[in-house]
Amino acid sequence: MLQDEIVEEIHRIREEYSRSFNHDLKAIFADLQKQQAESGRAVVSLSRKRGLTTRWSGRAKYLGGDD
């Protein structure tokens, strides 16, 4: 099987990062949240907001859908 050096490096880095937290998902999540907060970047939610209408909102009904 062909081995991709970039994929192998990503796997190695991910394993090292996980090992540094003793594979504790809660600790990893807390660290990622801390990094996010310290980054200063704006965080946006891409989830659809309830009641938001778009130009496609009525299309399912027109096509016989349930929405």
Task: Give dist(CA 34, CA 21) in Å, integer.
Answer: 14
More confident residue, 26 or 42: 26
Model confidence band, residue 60 (pLDDT cutoffs 50, 70, 90): low
pTM over 0.85? The answer is no
More confident residue, 37 or 55: 37
pLDDT of 38 strictly over 70:
yes
Task: Give dist(CA 35, CA 29) in Å, integer.
Answer: 10
